[in-house]
Amino acid sequence: MADGRIRALVEAIHATPTQAVLYLSGGASQALGYLMSIPGASNTVLEAIVPYSRTSMIQLLSKIPTQFVSKQTAEDMALLAYNRALKLSKPGLSVVGVGFTGSLASTRPKQGDHRFYFSTRTSDRLWVSSVTLSKGLRTREQEDKVSSHFLLKAIADACKVSATFHPDVNETEVPDECEKLFDEDEELQQLLNGEICMKVYPFSGHAPNSERKIILSGSFNPLHDGHLKLLEVATRISEGVPCFEISAINADKPPLTVPQIKERVEQFERAGKTVIISNQPYFYKKAELFPGSAFVIGADTAARLVNPKYYGGDHNKMLEILIGCKEIGCTFLVGGRNVDGLFQVLEDLDIPPELQDLFISIPEEKFRMDISSTEIRRKLGM
């Protein structure tokens, strides 16, 4: 394929509203070079890692793979890359995880086949392919070129960019392809199983202008005006993309079922608000999931966050966990809350000096709505 056609294809990829994380081992280095050197790369590539050594691959996968160069390893890499892309992307943009592992020509002759496996994962699709090259036909650079062309075409397909070219291979080097498609129920079940870390429903409709998120977490059973107003006020105080977030996994209750999740999501569709479904019930884990975000909480939640009782009575452990949230750029916007008939604000709490810049007050004059989800459910007979 001529360089001009490669450039046109990569430019088309960069023009799509899709962001990618790539984990590439053992080949396809030219594909990464094209993606990064052609203008627009920052629109597409969130992160690219080359886990080339065995130790690096083991650390990436958090296990020793049965085979380092295999279909399963490529799929595992793509799924890890997809989850990483979800964490790094702007909320609502499509993301793709890309995995590649290969055994190509080297300085010493290989006993086995010259082959490579590559996989892409999107919200509704897992695709994997393998190619075995004719041994001795090409140099290492030429084999890398072939694998790079295949990989660029796979990324284009995942981004829904038409790629009509065919890499320069002979009739014995036909790729072996496999595709799995997921519907919404299957994707939510994968979330409940811990395979994927979140699902974003971008009902707001407008393109996000920031990677930073302003997140109001809760069960939203039901969503009410107090929730909507609180997030609106928080977004005026701190810059970012407003998002609601529901954890399908609860620390004290059984996990939500797929129908329950979909029922709660429908509320946000009617309201035209973005909601993220995650599987992390604890704020320090949410911070890892949404680095650099501002979490909107009530004063009652803030009081629990700084109470050593919830850390096994260990004050130092509490400090360590919350300082960890601060170090990855997270903050907490604290709204007033009516607790046992007393309206409390951030200034009423005893915040340790080490954590005072982690919490930002939402003044009572900017937000106070004494609405209770529990009371609403009681009135509705829920």
Instruction: State the Cα–Cα distance between residues 367 and 343, nearest whole angstrom.
Output: 12
pLDDT at 167: 82
Please tell me the least confidently modeled range out of 90-94, 212-216, 275-279.
Answer: 90-94
**Residue 345 near residue 307, CB atoms below 8 Å:** no
Q: pLDDT tens, 219-253?
A: 999 999 999 999 999 999 999 999 999 999 998 88
For the chain, give every domain's residue range. 1-181, 186-380
Residues near 111 by Cβ (< 8 Å), separated by ≥ 6? none
**Residue 277 near residue 250, CB atoms below 8 Å:** no
DSSP state of 357: G
pLDDT at 341 over 90: no
pLDDT at 2 over 60: no
Q: Which CATH superfamily is domain 1-181 in?
A: CinA-like (3.90.950.20)
Q: pLDDT tens, 294-328?
A: 999 999 999 999 999 999 999 999 999 999 999 99
pLDDT at 33: 95
Helix (H, G, I), strand (E, B) or coil at 103: strand
Q: With bands split at pLDDT 50, 70 and 90, how would you rate the model's confidence at 372?
A: low
Helix (H, G, I), strand (E, B) or coil at 127: strand
User: Does the domain spanning 186-380 belong to CATH 3.30.70?
Assistant: no
Residues near 43 by Cβ (< 8 Å), separated by ≥ 6? 14, 15, 19
Which DSSP string corresponds to 301-316? HHHHHT-GGGGTT-HH
- What whole-number percentage of the chain has pLDDT above 90? 82
Q: With bands split at pLDDT 50, 70 and 90, how would you rate the model's confidence at 379?
A: low
The secondary structure element, H or E, covering residue 98 is: strand 94-103
Higher pLDDT, 93 or 121: 121
Query: Is 166 exposed, middle or buried (CB count within 10 Å of its CB: 0-12, 13-18, 19+)?
Result: exposed
Instruction: State the Cα–Cα distance between residues 238 and 19, nearest whole angstrom.
Output: 25
**Residue whose pair of structure tokens reads 């080097």 in the numeric block:** 173
pLDDT at 378: 58
Which DSSP string corresponds to 169-230? --TT---EEEEEE--HHHHHHHHHTTSSSEEEE-TT-SPP--S-EEEEE---TT--HHHHHH
Instruction: State the Cα–Cα distance between residues 83 and 265, nearest whole angstrom.
Output: 21
pLDDT at 1: 47
- What's the gap between Cα 343 and its chain centre? 36
- What whole-number percentage of the chain has pLDDT above 70? 96
Q: pLDDT tens, 130-143?
A: 999 999 899 999 99
Query: Is 332 exposed, middle or buried (CB count within 10 Å of its CB: 0-12, 13-18, 19+)?
Result: buried
pLDDT at 375: 57
**Residue 155 near residue 163, CB atoms below 8 Å:** no
pLDDT at 181 over 80: yes
